[in-house]
Amino acid sequence: MTGKNSITNNVYFLGGFATMGGMLFGFDISSMSGVVGTERYQNYFNYPSSSVQGGIVASMAAGSFFGALMAGTLGDMISRKRTIMLASLIWIVGSIIQCATVNIPMLIVGRIINGVAVGLASMIVPVYQAEIAPKEIRGRIVSLQQWAITWGILIQYFIQYGCSFIESNAAFRIPWGVQVVPGLILFCGTLIFPYSPRWLADHDRAEEALEVLANLRANGNKNDPAVVAEFKEIQDAINFDRTLAARSYAELFRTPNARRVFLGITLQSWSQLTGMNVAMYYIVFIFQGAGVTGQNTNLQASAIQYVLNVVMTIPAILFIDKWGRRPVLLIGSTFMALWLFLIGGLMGKYGSAISFDGNSTTTWAISGNDAASKAVIACSYLFVCSFAISWGPVSWTYPAEIFPLRIRSKAVSLATASNWMFNFVLAYAVPPALEKIQYRTYFIFAAFCVGMTIHIFFMFPETKGRTLEEMDELFNSDIPAWKTRALPASRLDRDIEDIKAGETDEVK
């Protein structure tokens, strides 16, 4: 399927299909959050303590940490496309092991392998999306990654919920086994994907790069002004890169790259410190603390949260390239801090020490105050909405677009690895925190949200509407981050107009 009008030349199709790599992460989140509070799971694994349960959940993030680091080198060596395919194969192996698990160690091994796959995919998919998308819709295309994660959470949740009525261990084996399906679809679909034009150009395959770029931008017309201008910009950036020293990880930490690497790492770390993924993993425990009891009631309340996560990501996808990255991040973290402070305050004022049979994690809950319980649940839903429309999509978009081609894959791998490192730490630490310091856990995450708001305002420039090759000029300038929204239009737009003007003069 290489014709000019082939669906594989449609940026929306390519960017959307590739996000099945993100969907794998969503499947994993829901595959655990849906079972940790069920009697069938608790009984089979001998009622794991809060620390053991934290270790089971965190094992996936540990694998993802190493997968993300591996993806940096693999993305450069074997291409973005083949790295996605490798991730899907590894995911299939891990899902089979989880489905066949007979004890906690085997479950952890399966989750680590799945984690390696998720780490590879979560790092390389945004890079591939950013490199094929035109600047006008780059944010929208990369944001599809977060939307796929939310769909993965929702789909697996309903599978999990349906299987919860099965009176056997198939209640958790079927959902874990079903995870093989998206892995197979991703592998087979990626076979027909084009390579990233920027990766091709960087590997001295200029003619192929031009052909792919022309197919993506102008139905195969290599002489289209937009294609000519963008291809020249890519070539100029590569030629400049080759005047520099040999590529290595060391240059990521030298001027002028160190600043951007730091921003990418901290942004991905902050996205975990919002507490969103913790809320997704341990939603059952959070609602128990809000006074919601009963397996079916709790799972149904969780379903609302997952649906909101999907729906509220849509506005970000549609408008991220209009709103910009900075205001979305700033508003999102401000509101998340508000909801977290309210949850902690309500639970602290109206809750009390409590114990649940077979569950050592929830030691503090609201009991007998229906209004306070509903308020906590409402704030939890609003917290999810605030993340979904802001940090969810932008935390994947921003790191994928700020680095020069020569270090992009390696730099994004470090940023993504930091995401998974904090995911691991928090997934492991939160159950003991909910057990020991209870509602105060929410105040800690609220404080993180305040810190990230300040950091974004002073340190993160606006990147919307600029090509990947223009990021050097943006980040190497002395313009304060809060003034970058007012910068002139993209240089690429001027180049395109110059080419059009030249063609007009030739005709005359």
**Is the model's pLDDT at 331 over the cut of 90?**
yes
Report d(CA 267, CA 340) in Å as an integer: 19
* H or E, element range at 38: none
Q: Which of 113, 90, 101 is nearest to 184 (CA)?
A: 90
Burial class (CB in 10 A: 0-12, 13-18, 19+), 43: exposed
Q: DSSP readout, 193-248? A: PPPPHHHHHHTT-HHHHHHHHHHHHHTT-TT-HHHHHHHHHHHHHHHHHTTSPPP-
**Is the model's pLDDT at 339 over the cut of 60?**
yes
**Is the model's pLDDT at 3 over the cut of 60?**
no
Q: Supply 339's token pair.
A: 């909801």
Q: Supply 411's token pair.
A: 């730099």
pLDDT at 163: 84
Report d(CA 458, CA 461) in Å as an integer: 9
Inter-CA distances, 66 with 5, 114, 177, 336, 480, Å? 39, 11, 23, 29, 35
pLDDT tens per residue, range 14-69: 999 999 888 888 887 777 766 776 778 888 888 888 778 878 888 988 999 999 99
242-255 CB burial, b ≥16 within 10 A, e <16: eeeeeeeeebbeee
Q: By percentage, how much of the chain surpasses pLDDT 70?
A: 92
Report d(CA 288, CA 33) in Å as an integer: 13
Indicate the pLDDT class of residue 505, thresholds 50, 70 and 90.
low
pLDDT at 248: 80
pLDDT at 158: 85
Beta bridge partners of 356: 359
Report d(CA 367, CA 377) in Å as an integer: 14
Q: Supply 446's token pair.
A: 């609220």
Arithmetic mean of pLDDT, 282-304: 69
**Is the model's pLDDT at 426 over the cut of 90?**
no
* H or E, element range at 411: helix 405-436
Report d(CA 441, CA 434) in Å as an integer: 7
Report d(CA 167, CA 158) in Å as an integer: 17
Report d(CA 394, CA 391) in Å as an integer: 5
Question: In the block, which residue shows the tokens 């990947």?
Answer: 468
> How do the residues of the chain divide into helix, strand and coil, expressed in percent and rounded to 5?
80, 0, 20
- Structural domain boundaries in the chain: 7-196+257-486
Backbone phi, then psi, for 326, in 5-degree steps?
-60, -55
Q: Supply 139's token pair.
A: 């944010």
* H or E, element range at 359: none
Inter-CA distances, 344 with 35, 76, 353, Å? 25, 45, 14
DSSP one-letter code for 356: B
Report d(CA 393, CA 15) in Å as an integer: 14
Specify the CATH architecture of the domain 7-196+257-486: Up-down Bundle (1.20)
* H or E, element range at 250: none
Q: Supply 431's token pair.
A: 């159950």
Q: Which of 34, 85, 69, 22 is nearest to 420 (CA)?
A: 69
pLDDT at 438: 83
CB 374 within 8 A of CB 466: no
pLDDT tens per residue, range 162-201: 887 888 888 889 989 999 999 999 999 999 999 999 999 9
> pTM for the whole thing?
0.90
**Is the model's pLDDT at 1 over the cut of 60?**
no
The SS3 assignment for 272 reads helix
Indicate the pLDDT class of residue 286, thresholds 50, 70 and 90.
confident
Dihedral angle, C-alpha 48, 54, 56, 62, nearest 10 °: -160
Backbone phi, then psi, for 323, in 5-degree steps?
-70, -35
Report d(CA 111, CA 61) in Å as an integer: 9
Arithmetic mean of pLDDT, 368-384: 87
| Least confident segment among 77-81, 159-163, 357-361, 488-492 | 357-361
Report d(CA 479, CA 467) in Å as an integer: 18
* Better pLDDT: 298 or 472: 472
CB 370 within 8 A of CB 378: no
DSSP one-letter code for 167: S
Report d(CA 495, CA 220) in Å as an integer: 20
**Is the model's pLDDT at 295 over the cut of 70?**
no
Report d(CA 353, CA 367) in Å as an integer: 10
Q: By percentage, how much of the chain surpasses pLDDT 90?
A: 56
